[in-house]
Amino acid sequence: MSGTFAVLVARDLRLAARRRVDVVLPIAFFTVAVSLFPLGVGPEPQILRQIAPGVVWVAALLAAMLSVTQLYAADHADGSLEQMLLVPGARISIALAKAVSHWFLTGLPLIVAAPVFGLLFDMTPAAIASLVAGLVLGTPVLSLLGGLGAALTLGLRSGAVLLILIIVPLCIPAIIFGAGAVAAVESGLSARGHYSLLGALLIFTAVLAPMATGAALRIATE
């Protein structure tokens, strides 16, 4: 299982290196979406600090959903997904590998860019650190749930719309706890409770989402 997982992650990263436009598009969307809010809201620092966590998290969610819609589509179209599913016990490895590769290509760049946007919104260093810590725990949840939605809507017309309707409500707790951690730090309180909830959500999703995704892939390819 570990060998299949490593091979699939390396394969997806190599394919992504050949399709750089698909990799850059979610990051560009995240950058533009976050950058426009200070222009629309105004230069008031207090207002910018208050809305910053929610803006970054919502933009990260939308960027993840933008890139996850094609997670299995190319492999399904050329028949390679059916071939991979023929390997005994490979469904969970495929689901985990796709989620991990998606996080490397989308979640990790968003985490790296988050401090820059924290400075753009005039956030304190402690608040920026809290924002980054929340994204480290929360963005894998977005990738895992996005992979589940991509599997559930595989081969369907208007699959992107259905994916958003299915997955976005499931991602709301991650947004609440991630933004709440920053608000707690800015209020002088401990954010450990929010981190604990994000960690529990990550563990719960990492255990259940790959199994559900594997079952959805089996149904979609039968």
Of 121, 149, 151, 5, nearest to 57 by C-alpha is: 121
Q: What does the DSSP 8-state code read for residue 104?
A: I
The mean pLDDT value for 1-6 works out to 70
Query: Using an 8 Å Cβ cutoff, are 48 and 35 in contact?
Result: no
Q: What is the pLDDT of residue 181?
A: 92
pLDDT band at 4 (very low <50, low <70, confident <90, very high): confident
Query: Using an 8 Å Cβ cutoff, are 217 and 193 in contact?
Result: no
Q: Which of 32-41, 136-145, 168-177 has the lowest mean pLDDT?
A: 32-41
Question: Where do runs of H (alpha helix) occur along 124-191?
Answer: 125-152, 159-186
Q: What is the pLDDT of residue 78?
A: 79
pLDDT at residue 156 tops 80: no
The mean pLDDT value for 120-131 works out to 89
Over the stretch 168-215, which tens digit does the pLDDT of each residue have? 889 999 999 999 999 999 888 888 999 999 999 999 999 999 999 988
pLDDT at residue 141 tops 90: yes
pLDDT band at 47 (very low <50, low <70, confident <90, very high): confident
Q: What is the pLDDT of residue 215?
A: 87
Q: What is the mean pLDDT of the chain?
A: 86
Query: Using an 8 Å Cβ cutoff, are 67 and 26 in contact?
Result: yes
Which residues contact residue 122 at a Cβ distance below 8 angstroms, ignoring those fewer than 6 apart? 45, 48, 49
Q: What is the pLDDT of residue 222?
A: 72
Distance in angstroms (rounded) separating the CA atoms of residues 106 and 54 = 18
Q: What is the pLDDT of residue 119?
A: 86
Percent over 90 (pLDDT), the chain = 28
Q: What is the pLDDT of residue 201?
A: 94
Over the stretch 55-91, which tens digit does the pLDDT of each residue have? 899 988 888 888 887 788 878 777 788 888 777 777 8
Cα 56 to Cα 62, 191, 192, distances in angstroms:
10, 18, 20
Whole-model pTM over 0.85: yes
pLDDT band at 138 (very low <50, low <70, confident <90, very high): very high
DSSP assignments along 72-102, one per residue: THHHHHTTHHHHHHTSTTHHHHHHHHHHHHH
